[in-house]
Structure 1
Amino acid sequence: MAVPTNKEELQIAIKTNYNKLKKELSGIPVELTTITNLEGHAKDTVMSINNLISYLTGWGKLVVKWNTKKDNQEIVDFPETGYKWNELGKLAQKFYKDYEEDNFLVLCDKLDNTVHEILSLIEQKSNAELYETPWYEKWTLGRMIQFNTASPYNNARGRIRKWKKENNLL
């Protein structure tokens, strides 16, 4: 799928990639979701399916947080307070920890709700707000949303498919 260049394409990309991801998640036995045998987000690390969902939820929540702060003319610490862009592996570990008490079904619900929040956020914005003005440095809001939703959903789906193949689940 091409990189979205307008509001409608962004909505379609998120919905399409997320629905494909949900389909992959639905075929995973719950008892396998806590096993750490999936390639991690930082070099030489492993994670569980639950960690992967936590990661996606964490980034989605950051998108909502960034937007809320910007709308309220507050300062946004990108990517997150206490983290720099070159510390994304540490940020991934934070997301895993944030949701470690949640089981697979709860995590899937949280991700679902986060995706709905993001789609609602997009719906409230004009195409001009999303794609015609820089929002963070040179990036538009639409591109920042896409970087943290549609693209990672597609990446996660690929990771899960590879994991399923390695675990004889296809």
Structure 2
Amino acid sequence: MPIPQTKAELLTAIIESYRKLAPELASIPPERTAEASLEGHSKGTLMSVHDLAAYLLGWGELVLKWHAGRAAGQVVDFPETGFKWNELGQLAAKFYRDYADLPYPELLARLDATKTALVALVEGESDTALYGVPWYETWTLGRMVQFNTASPYANARARLRKWKKQQGLD
């Protein structure tokens, strides 16, 4: 899928990539969701399907936090307080820990609600606000949203499909 350049393209990318991802996440047998056998976000690590969903939820909620903070005139720590952009593996591990105690069905429900909130965020912005002006350094708001929604949704789906095939779950 090409990189979105407009509000309409961004909405399509988010909605379509999530529409394809959600059934993949829901199809994992409950007893397999906590098994750390999926290639991790940091080189040489393994994670569970639960961790993968937590990662997606963590980034989605972080985008909403960034937007709310900026809208309130606050200084926002990017990517997150206590983390630098070269520490994204550690941030991923934080997301895994943050949601570790959340039962998988609740995690998926919260991920779905976060995707809905992100779609609403995009719907509430103009093309100019999304793509016409820098929002964080040189990046536009639309690009920052896309980096943390449509792209990781598509990546997660590919990871899950590969894992399911390896595990004989297809």
Please report the TM-score for the alignment, with normalisation by the length of structure 1: 0.99
Aligned residue for 2:20?
20
Aligned residue for 1:33?
33
Structure 1 residue 94 displacement after superposition: 0.4
Residues 141-160 of structure 1 mapped to structure 2, 5 A cutoff? 141-160=141-160
The reply on whether 1:5 has 2:5 as its aligned counterpart is: yes
Residues 120-159 of structure 1 mapped to structure 2, 5 A cutoff? 120-159=120-159
Structure 1 residue 104 displacement after superposition: 1.2
CA distance in 1, matches of 2:30, 2:89: 26
Equivalent pairs, count: 170
Aligned residue for 1:67?
67
- Of the structure 1 ranges 17-26 and 80-89, higher mean CA displacement relative to structure 2 is found in 17-26
CA distance in 2, matches of 1:154, 1:103: 23
Sequence identity percentage: 54
Partner amino acid, structure 2, of 1:72: A
CA root-mean-square deviation? 0.6
The reply on whether 1:106 has 2:106 as its aligned counterpart is: yes
5+ long unaligned stretches in structure 2? none
Partner amino acid, structure 1, of 2:92: A
Aligned residue for 2:115?
115
Partner amino acid, structure 1, of 2:7: K
Partner amino acid, structure 1, of 2:86: N
Structure 1 residue 26 displacement after superposition: 2.2
Aligned residue for 1:48?
48
Cα deviation per residue 1:36-67 (whole Å; 9 max; x = unaligned)? 00000011110000000000000000100000
Structure 1 residue 21 displacement after superposition: 0.3
Partner amino acid, structure 1, of 2:14: I
SS in 1 for 2:135: strand
CA distance in 2, matches of 1:74, 1:6: 26
Runs of at least 4 residues of structure 1 off by over 6 A?
none
Cα deviation per residue 1:77-103 (whole Å; 9 max; x = unaligned)? 000000000000000010000000012
Aligned residue for 2:57?
57
Aligned residue for 1:87?
87
